[in-house]
């Protein structure tokens, strides 16, 4: 089972937890910061977070290197989203997290989730366009105008290729 970070939840100024996409159930679950830290300490993968240890104890940080999670949307009320890093270059009020890649009718498709708990599949050209106009997209990176999938994203094309061999 793979958990992928979608958003943080605040009650006023107080963090109450995070929402995650569960690849096994294809649903969304909530976890407290302590639950996420414990999961990472056990060696379980949580896409979007890394564990940072210091003298003050363990804390969570966005996985900017391994999963390209450069920013996070925060829910602080009903239908109210803000950004963790307010001074980022993103003018859009949306972020996408790629959770799976597959082929459909000869086209490469990228299944995404977002902080509003929507699951939407994008063709490669549309996803690239979203990235180019500044929408934060985690789970993939753009290198030399090609989309490169990060570790932790389900790649059903590679799975099918391995099964055929």
CB contact set of 111 (below 8 Å; sequence gap of 6+): 98, 99, 100, 101, 102, 119, 120, 121
pLDDT tens for 112-152 read 999 999 999 999 999 999 998 889 999 999 998 899 999 99
Q: Which pLDDT does position 164 carry in this prediction? A: 44
* Residue of higher predicted confidence among 91 and 152: 152
Which pLDDT does position 80 carry in this prediction?
Answer: 83
The distance between the two most distant Cα atoms of the chain, rounded to a whole number of Å, is: 54
What pLDDT is recorded for position 162?
A: 44
Please report the pLDDT score of residue 88 as a whole number.
Answer: 57
Residues 60-83 have a mean pLDDT of 91
Task: State the DSSP H helix or E strand holding residue 52, giving kind and residue range, or none if neither.
Answer: strand 49-54
Q: Residue 1 is encoded by which pair of tokens?
A: 């089972």
Global confidence as pTM: 0.88
Q: What is the pLDDT of residues 11-68, one digit of tens each?
A: 988 999 999 999 999 999 999 999 999 999 999 999 999 999 999 899 999 999 999 9
Domain residues of the chain, as ranges? 3-80+92-158
Return d(Cα 53, Cα 164) in angstroms, integer.
43
């Amino acid at each position: 089972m793979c958990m992928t970070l979608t958003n943080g939840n605040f009650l006023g100024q107080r963090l109450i937890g995070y929402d995650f996409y569960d690849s096994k159930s294809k649903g969304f679950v909530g976890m407290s910061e302590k639950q996420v830290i414990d999961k990472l300490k056990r060696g379980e993968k949580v896409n979007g977070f890394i564990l940072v240890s210091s003298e003050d104890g363990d804390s969570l940080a966005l996985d900017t290197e391994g999963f390209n999670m450069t920013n996070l949307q925060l829910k602080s009320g009903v239908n109210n989203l803000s950004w963790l890093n307010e001074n980022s270059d993103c003018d859009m009020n949306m972020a996408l997290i790629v959770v799976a890649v597959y082929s459909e009718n000869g086209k490469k498709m990228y299944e995404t989730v977002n902080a509003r708990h929507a699951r939407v599949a994008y063709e490669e050209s549309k996803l690239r366009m979203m990235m180019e106009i500044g929408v934060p997209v985690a789970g993939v990176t753009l290198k030399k105008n090609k989309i490169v999938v990060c570790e932790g994203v389900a790649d059903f094309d590679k799975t099918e290729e391995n099964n055929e061999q």
